Structure formats: structure tokens, C-alpha cells
Structure 1
Amino acid sequence: MPSHPPHAVFDSVPDAVMARARRVRLACFDVDGTLTDGALTFDTEGRETKTFHVHDGQGLVLLRKAGIAVAMVTARRGGIVERRAADLGIEAYVHVADKRERVEQLCAALDIGPDEMAFMGDDLADVGVMRIAGLAVAPADAQRCAAEAAHWRTRAEGGRGAGRELCELILHAQERLATSHADGRVS
């Protein structure tokens, strides 16, 4: 990620996107292609491995500490995703056949409207939920269908800081980013 001050990163973000980010109370993330680079690796025993970037994880924790609900939503089976989510203290929904339906259920359970929900996705399975999200975001390397459904695209690629960019956008829009960077806590 660039080394310039965090606020400068968002100077070019359209006002309409900042307004959407100010309303976010729930941030949901697809996993493969957003919080990872999308590569699927299997060992000789058939066990799947994924690589998560620590910066993205820190962003998810910052959101959680700011009182914003955070969830991972993936169509793939769990294990690795559930472990990473547990490490970060957030929810994970795995083997989800219909992401839009699952996220709508989560919004209802939290008494949060879709306009107060952000969703980051990168491919066809994410488009349905992106279309109802108050803030739909795609990583720089997202497939065209997801990029077209997004209100905003990150500069970083999936698994390489895209998740952190969304987290910081939300915190910046809600005027909580400077505090979280100054002392490691979010006000």
C-alpha cells in the first residue's frame, strides 16, 4: 500500500461514495479474490490452503472495534475461512449457495437495512448482493461483472490490500480513521 497519509488516498473518492460509506454499519466480504488473491492451492492430501494479507485482517479488526459488524461470506467450504474469521473475531458464513439471501438474513438479524451494508466482491457470484448493497466495492482486479456492479473500486488487488482500503474508506468517511492510526485504537 502507498506510504502517503491515509486521508490523501481518499481525496479522489466521489462524494456519493463517501456518503454511502458514512452509513455503513455492516461490512461483508467475499473471500476468494477479495481477501485472498483468488488462487486455490491444494496439498498432496487434497487440503486447500489460502493466503490472507495481514493488512486486510487488521482493517477488519479496526472496523469491528469501531462497532461495525463484519462478516466473510463465501460459496466455498469452510475450515480455513472459519479459522481466519475466528482469529479476527468476526463472523464467517461458508458454503453459501445464495450470498444475497444470506446477507439479507444477516441484515435482518442485525436490524440493518441494505443501504447500511457494504459488500466487497470480485466475480459473478457476488453481483446479486452487490446490487442491493448500500456500498458495493470491487478490488482493482475484479471481473468485469463485479466491477460494473460496484459503486467504487479499490486501487489494490484482491488479497493485496483491497479489503484494507474498503475498511479505511469506511472509517475515513465516518471520521474515525485518524484516531485508529494514531494510537492503534478506533474511537
Structure 2
Amino acid sequence: MSRYELRWKNKMTGSEKYPSDCQILEEMRTQAREQISTSPARQCALARAKDIKLLLLDVDGVLTNGSLLYTGEEIESKSFHTLDGFGLQLLREAEVATGIITARRSAVVARRAKELKMTYIYQGAMNKNIAFKEILAESGLKPFEVAYMGDDWLDLVILQQVGLATTPANGAPEVQERVHFSTKRSGGFGAVREVCDLIIEGKGLKETLLQKYLNK
């Protein structure tokens, strides 16, 4: 008997039958979720998320999958995920500001940032630390009140300063080693949404926001 079957058996009364395969599978999923939610790393990240008032993001490899698509007319094309967009909307509803700091320049990025109502938009920032310092000065926030998500070496200068340092599953190994939280999804596939959810949960606002949408 597996530990999942044993756990289910301990829950049963004398009148209940032996669990079905579907019930055992659901029990496995429940235990996996419990393990993730109670892991020391996640608990530490949730504690840090409580003070966050601003989420800053890199773009390529974070809001996108990192691919650069060029047309014959020299127009750059990027793909964004709706999960990330809705997560950033939820952050605004939680009164957490958002922004981007990226080394590249793109009209597509400017359009997406405007759609997402981002407060800070820094493109062409080869020295990201300069942009970060400017944002701190303008916002009046302290580094511990800022979360940042980056995927490569250019992001390390900010990641080592902020209160909540995060990276997507595709982040460089050197980045993975230095952050507080790594997502299960890769950049461009909902990784940013995971960080948004983490911040909302850390602030204790998950149920409040969920009820808002359940009651619409």
C-alpha cells in the first residue's frame, strides 16, 4: 500500500470503501500543493512579499520567452502572455505599482507597458542600476519595498538589492543561485503571474481579490 493510499485509509470510516484511482490521484495532488505552500523557501518569499509596494520586471525572457522575431520591414515582434497581464492587473488592484527596466528598445514593449498601465517604463537601460536608483528617488521607496524579476546577468545588480528577488524557470544558473524565489513557469508563459500571486498572497489579499471576482 502506497503512502497516499495509507493516508486516505486513515481518513476513512468503517462504512467507506477503498479509494478509487481518481481519489488517490487527487490526494497526491493535494499533498503536493501542501508541500509547495509550506516549503521554507516559499514561506521566506511570502514574508518578504508583505512589504512590497512595487514590482519591476525585465522584459526579454521574463515578460516574453526571450525570442526576437524580425519581419522583412525591420519590425520587431514579441509575444506576451495573458496570465501575466491579468496578474499585473491584480497587483494594481492590490495597490502595488509596476514597471519595466530593459536593455533593449521596442515599440511593442512600450505599447504593452501602456496597456498594462505600468508606472515606470525604462527602455535602453544598459546600466540597469542607474534606472533603479532613479525609480527609488522618484517613488521614495526603499529597496526592501521593491520586488524585481530578471533572468540574466544584467539583472544581478538589481536582484542583489531588492526586498524580493525573483527569476523565471529559464533564468540563468547564476541568477537562480541568488534569488529568493524561482517560478515553475518560464518567462513568457505565466512566470510573472506566479510572482504577482506570491505578492498578493504575502499581503494577505488573495481571498479578498478572489471574492471580488466570484461576486461579479
User: After TM superposition, is the score higher than 0.5?
Assistant: yes
CA contact (8 A) 1:10 1:169 kept: no
- Whether the 8 Å CA contact 1:122–1:139 is kept in 2: the answer is yes
Q: Quick one: which amino acid aligns to residue 79 of structure 1?
A: A
| Cα offset, 1:103, TM superposition | 1.4
Q: Distance in 2 between matches of 1:83 and 1:35?
A: 13
CA distance in 2, matches of 1:104, 1:156: 29
Structure showing greater relative contact order (alpha-carbon pairs closer than 8 Å, 6 or more residues apart) = 1
Higher helix fraction (1 or 2): 2
2:95 maps to 1:99: no
Match of 1:58 among 86, 90, 99: 86
* Cα displacement string for residues 101-150 of structure 1 (whole angstroms, at most 9, x for unaligned residues): 21121122111100110000000110111010111001011111211221
Indicate whether 1:39 and 2:89 are aligned. Answer: no
Structural mapping, 1:167-182, within 5 Å: 167-182=196-211
Task: Measure the CA separation in 2 of the matches of 1:136 and 1:94.
Answer: 20
What is the correspondence of 1:113-152 to structure 2 with a 5 Å cutoff?
113-152=142-181
Letter matched to residue 135 of structure 1 = L
1:24 counterpart residue number: 52
Cα displacement (A) at 1:24: 0.5
One-letter identity of the residue aligned with 2:126: A
Please, what is the CA RMSD of the aligned residues?
1.9
* Deviation for aligned residue 1:65: 2.0
Post-superposition shift, 1:99? 1.2
Which AA in structure 2 matches 1:179? T
Cα distance change, pair 44–51 in 1 and its aligned pair in 2 (3 A): same
The separation in 2 between residues aligned to 1:103 and 1:184, in whole angstroms, is 34
Q: Quote how far apart the aligned CAs of 1:25 are.
A: 0.7
**Structure exhibiting the larger radius of gyration computed from Cα positions:** 2
CA distance in 1, matches of 2:144, 2:102: 21
C-alpha separation in 1, matches of 2:208 and 2:84: 18
- Which residue of the partner structure matches residue 42 of structure 2? 14
Distance in 2, Cα, partners of 1:128 & 1:11: 30
1:111 aligns with 2:134: no
The residue type paired with residue 160 of structure 1 is F
SS in 1 for 2:171: coil
> Residue by residue, what CA displacement relative to the aligned partner does 1:74-95 show, whole Å, maximum 9, x if unpaired?
1101311110011111132111
Letter of the structure 2 residue corresponding to residue 100 of structure 1: N
- Contact 1:81–1:92 (8 Å) recurs in 2: no
Contact 1:28–1:70 (Cα < 8 Å) also in 2: yes
Partner of 1:61: helix, strand, or coil?
helix
Q: How many residues are treated as equivalent by the alignment?
A: 181
